[in-house]
C-alpha cells in the first residue's frame, strides 16, 4: 500500500508542476491607448467677397482697381466710400493662436516714389479691418481697425485661446481707401498686406 | 467471509506482498484517493499583430498602444488607424473573459470643444476568441465585450482597435483610453 500511495503522490506532484504559472484568480491586462493631435493651423488662400476691383486668388492674392475706379477723366480721385474690398481666407486652428497684420507701405502709394507737385497726390490712405470670424459671420475676437497713416503697419500680435481659435472658420480683411481731394499722379500704385497666423503653444 | 478471505489472498498474491504473518491476520484497508482540480486560467503577455499608424509595446501590466499618426497635420481629422493585439490564453474550465473600453479616446486637458472641433473621438473595438467575434463602437462611456465560455479553451485572444479616417477635427493635445482584459476562472 505504501508503494501505491507513493505513486499517487508522484502523479500529483507532476500535475502541479505542469501548471506553475496559472492563476485561478482574476487576471487583468491593461492596454493603455495613447495618441497626440499636434497643433494644426491651416490658412487657406484668399477668396474675393466684395468690392470693385478684380481679383486673382491664392495664398498670395492680388486685387486690382481699374483705372476708372481710381480716377476720373481729370485725374481726380474716385476711390473712397464704395471702394472697399473684402477678402476672406479659410482658417482652421485646433489650438491657441497668435495672429498679426503687417503692411509694406502704410498707404496705397505710387510705386515710383515721385514726389507730387502741388495740387497732386501720390497715395491713398486707407482703413484696414481684420479679424477672425465664425462660419456664421460672427467675429470671434475684437476686429482690428487700423487707419493707415503712411507708415508701414508693424502688426500688433493678437492672441486667441484654444476655445476661441477653434471657433474660427475664416479670417476677414476689408481694405477701404479714403477719399482723396487732390488729383492723382499717374503711375502704378500698390500696397501689400500680410496676415500671419501661428500656434501660440 | 470465506469468499472475502479468498479474494484478499488472491490480491496479495498477485501483488507479491503476501508474507507469513498475513495469513493469520486478515485486515481490509480500502484507500480512496480524492482530489479537486480547480479551473486554472492564464493570460500571457500580449504581442502586436497587424498595425497601421500604431506601435505596440508590451509591459508587465499589458502594454502601451501608441497612435503614431492620430490626425492629419493639415486638417486635424483622424487618420485611418488600426492595431491587432494577440493575447495567448489558456483556461482549463469555465471562465469569464471580458474586454472593457473606457469609452473612447479623450483629451482630458482640453477645454470644452467649440467650432466643430472635438475633444473625444470614438473607435471600433473588436475581439475574436474561440471562434466568436464581438464588436462595438465606443460612445463615450465604458463598454464591455463578453467572451466568457463554459468549457476549457486555449488559443489567442485577438483584439482589434480601429479608428476610421476623417473623424474630428480634434483639438490639439493628448488623447487616451484604457482597454482592460479581465480573465476570471469560474
Q: What is the pLDDT of residues B145-185, one digit of tens each?
A: 999 999 999 999 999 999 999 999 999 999 999 999 999 99
**Full set of structural domains in chain A with CATH:** 50-199 (2.60.120)
- B33 to chain A, any CB pair closer than 8 A? The answer is yes
State the pLDDT confidence band at B24, using cuts at 50, 70 and 90. low
d(CA A163, CA B34): 70
A95:B172 CB<8 A: yes
Mean pLDDT check: name the lowest of B37-46, B60-69, B104-113.
Answer: B104-113
| B114–A24 C-beta distance less than 8 A | no
CB-based contact A168 B35, cutoff 8 Å: no
What HEC string does chain A produce?
CHHHHHHHHHHHHHHHHHCCCCECCCEEEEEEEEEEECCCEEECCEEEEECCCEEECECCCEEECCHHHHECCCCEECCCCCCCEEEEEEEEECCCEEEEEEECCCCEEECCCCCCCCCEECEECEEEEEEEECCCCCECCCCEEEECCCCCCCCCCEEECHHHHCCCCEEEEEEEECCCCCEECCCCEECCEEEEEEECC
- Residue of B52, B74, B101, B64 whose CA lies nearest to B170: B74
* Least-confidence region, from B4-13, B30-39, B46-55, B158-167: B4-13
What is the overall mean pLDDT for chain B?
A: 88
The answer to whether B169 faces chain A, any CB pair under 8 Å, is yes
Question: A20, A33, A140: best mutation site toward chain B, by most B Cβ within 10 Å?
Answer: A33
A·B CB contacts under 8 A: 160
Confidence tier at B111 by pLDDT (50, 70, 90) = confident
Q: Tell me: the pLDDT tens digits for B43-76?
A: 999 999 999 999 999 999 999 999 999 999 989 9
List CB contacts of B173: < 8 A, sequence separation 6 or more: A36, A37, B107, B109, B110, B119
The reported pLDDT for the residue numbered B6 is 52
Residues of chain A scoring pLDDT < 70: 1-27, 201
Residue written as grid cell 487700423: A146
**Confidence (pLDDT) at B15:** 47
pLDDT, residue B23, reads 53
Q: For residue A46, what pLDDT is reported?
A: 95
User: Which residues from A are below 8 Å from B when comparing CB atoms?
Assistant: 1, 4-5, 8, 12, 15, 19, 21-40, 42, 92, 94-95, 134, 161-164, 166-169, 199, 201
Distance, in angstroms, between B125 CA and closest chain A CA?
A: 12
Extents of the domains making up chain B = 1-32, 41-185
In 10 A of CB B22, how many CB atoms? 13
Nearest chain B residue to A97 by CA distance is B172
Interface predicted TM-score of the whole assembly (ipTM), two decimals: 0.81
Of A1, A4, A167, nearest to B114 by CB-CB distance is A167
pLDDT of residue B125: 98
**Which positions in chain A touch B71 (Cβ < 8 Å)?**
37-38, 40
pLDDT of residue A201: 58
The residue written with cell numbers 491607448 in the block is A33
Instruction: Decide if A94 and B33 are in contact by the 8 Å CB cutoff.
Output: no
Average pLDDT on B96-108 reads 96
The dihedrals phi and psi of A186, each to the nearest 5 degrees, come to -70, 150
Residue B2 has pLDDT above 80, yes or no: no
Find out if CATH 1.10.3470 is the number for domain B41-185: no
Over 50: is that where the pLDDT of B13 sits? no
Q: How far apart are CA B110 and CA B160, in angstroms?
A: 27
Q: Which of A23, A24, A26 is nearest to B183 (CA)?
A: A26
Average pLDDT over residues B119-123: 97
Dihedral (Cα; A18, A24, A25, A28), 10-degree rounding: 70
Give which of A16, A20, A35 to mutate to test B binding, by max B Cβ within 10 Å: A35
Amino acid at each position: 500500500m505504501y508503494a501505491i500511495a507513493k505513486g499517487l503522490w508522484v502523479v500529483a506532484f507532476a500535475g502541479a508542476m505542469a501548471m506553475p504559472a496559472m492563476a485561478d484568480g482574476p487576471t487583468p491586462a491593461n492596454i493603455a491607448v495613447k495618441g497626440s493631435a499636434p497643433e494644426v493651423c491651416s490658412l487657406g488662400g484668399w477668396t474675393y467677397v466684395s468690392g470693385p476691383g478684380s481679383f486673382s486668388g491664392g495664398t498670395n492674392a492680388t486685387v486690382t482697381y481699374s483705372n476708372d475706379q481710381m480716377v476720373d477723366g481729370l485725374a481726380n480721385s474716385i476711390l473712397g466710400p464704395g471702394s472697399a474690398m473684402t477678402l476672406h481666407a479659410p482658417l482652421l486652428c485646433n489650438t491657441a493662436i497668435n495672429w498679426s497684420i503687417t503692411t509694406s507701405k502704410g498707404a496705397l502709394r505710387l510705386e515710383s516714389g515721385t514726389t507730387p507737385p502741388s495740387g497732386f497726390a501720390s497715395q491713398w490712405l486707407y482703413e484696414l479691418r481684420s479679424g477672425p470670424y465664425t462660419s456664421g459671420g460672427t467675429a470671434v475676437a475684437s476686429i482690428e481697425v487700423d487707419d493707415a497713416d503712411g507708415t508701414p503697419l508693424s502688426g500688433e500680435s493678437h492672441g486667441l485661446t484654444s476655445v476661441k481659435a477653434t471657433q474660427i472658420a475664416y479670417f476677414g480683411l476689408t481694405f477701404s481707401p479714403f477719399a482723396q481731394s487732390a488729383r492723382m499722379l499717374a503711375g502704378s500704385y500698390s500696397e501689400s498686406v500680410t496676415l500671419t497666423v501661428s500656434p501660440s503653444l | 467471509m470465506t469468499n472475502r478471505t479468498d479474494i484478499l489472498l488472491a490480491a496479495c498474491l498477485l501483488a507479491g506482498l503476501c508474507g507469513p504473518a498475513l495469513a493469520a491476520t486478515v485486515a481490509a484497508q480500502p484507500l480512496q484517493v480524492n482530489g479537486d482540480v480547480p479551473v486554472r486560467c492564464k493570460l500571457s503577455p500580449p504581442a502586436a499583430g497587424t498595425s497601421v499608424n500604431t506601435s505596440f509595446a508590451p509591459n508587465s501590466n499589458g502594454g502601451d498602444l501608441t497612435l503614431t499618426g492620430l490626425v492629419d497635420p493639415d486638417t486635424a481629422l483622424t487618420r485611418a488607424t488600426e492595431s491587432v493585439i494577440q493575447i495567448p490564453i489558456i483556461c482549463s474550465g469555465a471562465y469569464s473573459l471580458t474586454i472593457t473600453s473606457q469609452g473612447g479616446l479623450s483629451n482630458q486637458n482640453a477645454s470644452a470643444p467649440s467650432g466643430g472641433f472635438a475633444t473625444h473621438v470614438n473607435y471600433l473595438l473588436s475581439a475574436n476568441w474561440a471562434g466568436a467575434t464581438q464588436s462595438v463602437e465606443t460612445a463615450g462611456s465604458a463598454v464591455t465585450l463578453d467572451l466568457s465560455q463554459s468549457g476549457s479553451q486555449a488559443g489567442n485572444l485577438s483584439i482589434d482597435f480601429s479608428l476610421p479616417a476623417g473623424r474630428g477635427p480634434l483639438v490639439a493635445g493628448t488623447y487616451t483610453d484604457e482597454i482592460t482584459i479581465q480573465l476570471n476562472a469560474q
